[in-house]
């Protein structure tokens, strides 16, 4: 156990120096082309905002089922099968057909090549499930169908969220999927997430629809409130143009009326429809509806064929900018709800870093003094090892660009406290060996060999706890698991290579010394 | 040599009492869950005006109809921690509060930290916390079972159980807040306590092989004494590190380091007085470990 070959010594030295260099790259700036890795600071240390959004898929499902009823009706019409009493209840479509048609309806739904009911061979499942309840058919989304629907609305939503966050222009946002109906948004450096929160909270579903007094409008009507929440208007359900038809939207100052407006440009289809509607609807009120609320309902005075127009509605410059941003980035497929928010101001983050560093320095000093007083020369060896260990730990974290959090710093301090354990186990064992062994070298050898199982077991148990924490914990706690877990490996390395190297050098020079430890 | 074994019975009684009291506390008093597990909103606020104090803040917040509001000093005289349920999960609650506070205090305050956890998320966090702790206990049990005989496994797990329950009992008794970092602390306690137990068990096993004529009652005592200086030194350095976190690591880490300090103290105690006494009560002898050796040879 005490012999080290020259090659091995070289390897240990190089390895330690390499990691010390890597670790110090966090303090001194190296050439970026040469090495540009850094430990990331968690949101709790650099300040920033963590938002967990949940997609409310209910309206999407409702909408899809609504569309399906039409599709089903038309599909079977072509096949000369009449669908009766079709209705939606609790996310199920119910309908019935005459007895003779029953089998052909079932066949269509259960056909693997059906274009009405797509089949997913990978999951051996259709999009829709059909059940003959005797009285009527019950159609609903299968488990896979629902998952497909959720993931596709998540894909769309994350795209829109990204666009909106990018437009606001925060630095290095982190936008990730969580499960199949959640989106995680991390915004470093942002201490007031108010604006982003209100932007993400809006679906931004824009429609242009005529105000009508005709209750028997062919498309149906609905009563909608104005933004101010006071007035109401009856609006046709017929959509002239929607947000999808927008090419661009920008806030502008209308110098004539001296108010802020949002001007927009329409795509070809939108321009055509808008032109037609404004030519036939002169004198009527055109309601501009955003997320079920009327922004304004101007009277159409002229045919607008240019494909551009403007929205006014008593905006401030800020609200006009935000509305333009929302319109540019597109509508969310479903409403988002912020179900978890954690925001840390940058000065608290800096305070936490300072406190963590002071605690680390003091903890480190206390342990070092304790070890030196207790073990003298071997304490010194342990302390040097401890310092190298700390650097290697920081080096590994840098290499993997791990995220350091406040609990993560606590994990490092704890590692310092527990890292001495392995050395203490060895030294205590050597002391025992020296009681009946006069040969120093043999005693040291025995000390290392006999303490090995205890050290291994002890570290594996801590590692198990760290692994569970890593997989079950979230955010800052995960940072703790990382430093604790990595700390175990670096500790074992420094105890078995660095400390042992020093010990071996010292012991072979003092072979015959009595009371060595 | 210290005669630890003289007090096996006394301390077993004490530990049983501690566990019973802790369980009673947990059942009847319950734990003081923070917003991570209960849901709600937390605001850490720093004031730059002496007009802003606990009572004036409490007055302001109570007028806002937020449900149960708690206002506490946080660390020093200018920092406050405000917590409330946010029962209806109102969307723009933070904005509303700011507008409201501006009216009374102007610009003389600053929100340093805002956390808002919805009811769904808090329920999930609680569930995953419970799963994490149970899973770690189960994994430790299995690991020790593989490395030692079942008697050792039982002793170690009882010691762990004791540490976790009693630590939580203390948190319940003093109504200390349980949040995500406390779960991390409890898991680390599990790892540490195990670590400590394993070192003594390793020595017990070694001594069982060495001496056939010493009874387990004596043998555990010898093993405890042989490993005692290591136990003391490691506990001491770990405690030194934890005390540094507790006193200098800032308010946010206070709960975490306190839980860890308790855990290290209980963990060290339980390795000696619970883990070992289980071996004594189960009459572990040389045969127990020799059988294990035979099995290893066969494999």
Query: pLDDT digits over A305-331, tens only?
Result: 888 888 888 888 888 888 898 988 888
- In degrees and rounded to multiples of 5, residue A511 shows phi and psi of -50, -40
> What whole-number percentage of chain B has pLDDT above 90?
52
How confident is the model over B15-38, as a mean pLDDT?
A: 94
Provide the CATH topology of domain A6-47+345-509. Answer: Multidrug efflux transporter AcrB transmembrane fold (1.20.1640)
Nearest chain B alpha carbon to A51: B116
CA distance B288 to chain A (A): 19
Q: How far apart are the C-alpha atoms of A262 and A313, rounded to whole Å?
A: 9
Contact of A176 with chain B, judged by CB distance below 8 Å, is answered with no
Is B121 close to A459, i.e. CB distance below 8 A? no
Enumerate the domain spans of chain B. Answer: 4-34+121-298, 40-117
Does B209 score more than 80 pLDDT?
A: yes
> What whole-number percentage of chain A has pLDDT above 90?
28
Contact of B121 with chain A, judged by CB distance below 8 Å, is answered with yes
Chain B neighbors of A338, CB-CB under 8 A: 91, 116, 118
Contact of A237 with chain B, judged by CB distance below 8 Å, is answered with no
| pLDDT value, residue A59 | 87
Least confident of A276-285, A349-358, B241-250, B285-294: B285-294
> What whole-number percentage of chain A has pLDDT above 70?
98
Least confident of A174-178, A300-304, A393-397, A499-503: A300-304
3-state SS assignment for residue A352: helix
How confident is the model over A201-207, as a mean pLDDT?
A: 88
Contact of A366 with chain B, judged by CB distance below 8 Å, is answered with yes
Does A152 score more than 70 pLDDT?
A: yes
Q: How far apart are the C-alpha atoms of A444 and A450, rounded to whole Å?
A: 10
Best-predicted range by mean pLDDT (A212-226, A235-249, A459-473, B26-40): B26-40
On the 0-12 / 13-18 / 19+ scale of CB atoms within 10 A, B57 is buried
Chain A neighbors of B192, CB-CB under 8 A: 418, 462
Give me the residue from A366, A374, A477 closest to B181, CB to CB: A477
**Rounded mean pLDDT of chain A?**
88
Is B237 close to A370, i.e. CB distance below 8 A? yes
Chain A neighbors of B143, CB-CB under 8 A: 460-461, 464
Chain B neighbors of A342, CB-CB under 8 A: 113-116
How confident is the model over A381-401, as a mean pLDDT?
A: 92
Is A360 close to B244, i.e. CB distance below 8 A? yes
3-state SS assignment for residue A80: coil
| pLDDT value, residue B292 | 63
Enumerate the domain spans of chain A. Answer: 6-47+345-509, 52-200, 211-317
Q: pLDDT (tens digit, 9 = 90+) per residue, A456-488? A: 888 888 898 889 889 887 777 888 899 999 999
Would you tell me how many other CB atoms lie within 10 Å of the CB of residue A131? 13
On the 0-12 / 13-18 / 19+ scale of CB atoms within 10 A, A487 is buried
Provide the CATH topology of domain B40-117. Answer: Alpha-Beta Plaits (3.30.70)
Q: Look up residue A272 and give its two tokens.
A: 């055509």
- In degrees and rounded to multiples of 5, residue A302 shows phi and psi of -140, 160
Pick the CATH number of B4-34+121-298 from 2.60.60.20, 1.20.1640.10, 2.130.10.30, 1.10.630.10: 1.20.1640.10
How confident is the model over B27-32, as a mean pLDDT?
A: 94
Does A30 score more than 80 pLDDT?
A: no
Does B296 score more than 70 pLDDT?
A: no
Virtual CA dihedral for B185, B191, B192, B195, nearest 10 degrees? 180
Least confident of A187-201, A366-380, B13-27, B160-174: A187-201
Does A29 score more than 70 pLDDT?
A: no
**B71 — pLDDT class (breaks 50, 70, 90):** very high
Contact of A181 with chain B, judged by CB distance below 8 Å, is answered with no
Task: List Cβ neighbours of B215 (8 Å cut-off, separation of 6 or more).
Answer: none
CA distance A225 to chain B (A): 20
Chain A neighbors of B118, CB-CB under 8 A: 337-340
**Rounded mean pLDDT of chain B?**
89
Is A462 close to B230, i.e. CB distance below 8 A? no
Chain A neighbors of B258, CB-CB under 8 A: none
Closest CA to B82 of B38, B32, B42, B40: B42
Give ipTM to 2 decimals. Answer: 0.88
Taking only residues 74 to 133 of chain A, the set having a beta carbon closer than 8 angstroms to any beta carbon of chain B reads none
**A418 — pLDDT class (breaks 50, 70, 90):** confident
**B213 — pLDDT class (breaks 50, 70, 90):** confident
Does B17 score more than 90 pLDDT?
A: yes
| pLDDT value, residue A32 | 63
| pLDDT value, residue A162 | 92
**A98 — pLDDT class (breaks 50, 70, 90):** confident
Q: pLDDT (tens digit, 9 = 90+) per residue, A242-256? A: 888 888 999 988 888
| pLDDT value, residue A354 | 93
Chain B neighbors of A347, CB-CB under 8 A: 112
Taking only residues 2 to 41 of chain B, the set having a beta carbon closer than 8 angstroms to any beta carbon of chain A reads none
**A303 — pLDDT class (breaks 50, 70, 90):** confident
Provide the CATH topology of domain A211-317. Answer: Gyrase A; domain 2 (3.30.1360)
| pLDDT value, residue B243 | 95
Is B245 close to A481, i.e. CB distance below 8 A? no
Q: pLDDT (tens digit, 9 = 90+) per residue, B140-179? A: 888 888 888 889 999 999 999 999 999 999 999 999 999 9
Contact of B244 with chain A, judged by CB distance below 8 Å, is answered with yes
């Amino acid at each position: 156990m005490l012999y080290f070959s020259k090659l091995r010594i070289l390897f240990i030295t190089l390895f330690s120096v390499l990691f010390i260099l890597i670790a110090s790259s966090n303090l001194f700036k190296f050439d970026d082309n040469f090495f540009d890795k850094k430990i990331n600071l968690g949101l709790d240390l650099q300040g920033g905002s963590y938002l967990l959004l949940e997609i409310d898929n209910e309206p999407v499902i409702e909408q899809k089922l609504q569309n399906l009823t039409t599709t089903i009706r038309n599909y079977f019409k072509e096949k000369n099968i009449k669908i009766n009493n079709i209705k939606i209840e609790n996310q199920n479509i119910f309908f019935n057909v005459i007895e003779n048609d029953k089998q052909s309806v079932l066949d269509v739904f259960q056909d693997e090549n059906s274009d009405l009911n797509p089949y997913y061979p990978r999951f051996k499942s259709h999009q829709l499930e059909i059940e003959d309840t005797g009285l009527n058919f019950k159609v609903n989304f299968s488990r896979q169908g629902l998952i497909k629907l959720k993931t596709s609305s998540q894909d769309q939503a994350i795209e829109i969220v990204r666009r909106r966050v990018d437009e606001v222009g925060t630095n290095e946002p982190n936008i990730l999927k969580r499960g199949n109906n959640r989106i995680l948004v991390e915004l470093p450096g942002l201490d007031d997430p108010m604006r982003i929160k209100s932007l993400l909270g809006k679906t931004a579903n824009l429609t242009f629809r005529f105000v009508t007094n005709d209750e028997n409008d062919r498309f149906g009507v609905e009563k909608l409130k104005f933004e101010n929440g006071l007035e109401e208007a009856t609006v046709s359900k017929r959509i002239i143009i929607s947000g999808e038809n927008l090419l661009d939207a920008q806030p502008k100052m209308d110098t004539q009326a001296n108010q802020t407006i949002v001007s927009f440009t329409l795509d070809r289809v939108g321009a055509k429809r808008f032109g037609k509607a404004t030519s036939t609807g002169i004198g009527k009120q055109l309601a501009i509806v955003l997320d079920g609320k009327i922004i304004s309902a101007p009277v159409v005075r002229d045919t607008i064929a240019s494909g551009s127009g403007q929205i006014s509605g008593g905006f401030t410059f800020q609200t006009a900018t935000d509305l333009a941003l929302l319109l540019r980035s597109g509508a969310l497929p479903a409403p988002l709800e912020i179900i978890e928010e954690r925001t840390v101001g940058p000065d608290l983050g800096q305070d936490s870093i300072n406190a963590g560093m002071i605690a680390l320095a003091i903890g480190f000093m206390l342990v070092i003094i304790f070890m030196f007083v207790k073990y003298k020369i071997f304490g010194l060896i342990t302390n040097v090892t401890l310092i190298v260990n700390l650097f290697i730990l920081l080096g590994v974290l840098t290499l993997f660009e791990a995220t350091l959090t406040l609990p993560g710093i606590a994990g490092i301090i704890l590692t310092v406290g527990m890292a001495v354990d392995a050395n203490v186990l060895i030294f205590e064992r050597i002391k025992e060996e020296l009681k009946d062994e006069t040969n120093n070298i043999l005693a040291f050898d025995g000390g290392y060999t006999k303490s090995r199982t205890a050290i291994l077991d002890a570290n594996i148990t801590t590692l198990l706890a760290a692994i569970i924490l890593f997989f079950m914990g979230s955010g800052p706690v995960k940072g703790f698991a990382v430093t604790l877990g990595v700390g175990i490996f670096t500790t074992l390395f420094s105890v078995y290579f660095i400390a042992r190297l020093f010990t071996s050098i010292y012991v072979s020079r003092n072979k015959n010394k009595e009371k060595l430890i | 040599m210290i005669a630890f074994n003289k007090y096996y019975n006394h301390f077993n009684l004490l530990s049983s009492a501690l566990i019973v009291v802790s369980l009673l506390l947990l059942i009847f008093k319950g734990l003081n869950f923070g917003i991570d597990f209960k849901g709600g909103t937390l605001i850490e606020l720093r004031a730059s005006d002496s007009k802003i104090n606990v009572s004036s803040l409490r007055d302001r917040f109570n007028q806002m109809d937020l449900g149960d509001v708690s206002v506490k000093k946080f660390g020093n005289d200018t920092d406050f921690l405000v917590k409330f349920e946010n029962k209806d999960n109102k969307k723009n609650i933070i904005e509303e509060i700011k507008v409201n506070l501006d009216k009374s205090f102007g610009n003389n305050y600053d929100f340093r930290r805002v956390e808002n956890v919805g009811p769904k998320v808090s329920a999930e966090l609680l569930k995953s916390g419970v799963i994490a702790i149970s899973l770690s206990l189960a994994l430790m049990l299995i690991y020790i079972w593989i490395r030692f005989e079942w008697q050792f496994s039982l002793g170690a797990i009882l010691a762990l159980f004791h540490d976790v329950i009693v630590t939580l009992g203390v948190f319940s008794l003093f109504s200390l807040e349980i949040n995500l970092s406390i779960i991390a602390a409890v898991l680390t306690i599990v790892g540490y306590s195990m670590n400590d137990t394993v070192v003594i068990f390793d020595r017990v096993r070694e001594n069982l092989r060495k001496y056939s004529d010493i009874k387990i009652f004596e043998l555990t005592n010898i093993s405890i004494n042989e490993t005692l200086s290591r136990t003391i030194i490691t506990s001491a350095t770990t405690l030194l590190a934890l005390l540094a976190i507790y006193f200098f690591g800032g308010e946010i880490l206070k709960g975490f380091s306190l839980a860890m300090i308790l855990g290290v103290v209980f963990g060290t105690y339980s390795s000696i007085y619970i883990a070992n006494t289980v071996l004594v009560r189960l009459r572990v002898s040389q045969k127990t470990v020799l059988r294990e050796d035979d099995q290893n040879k066969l494999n």
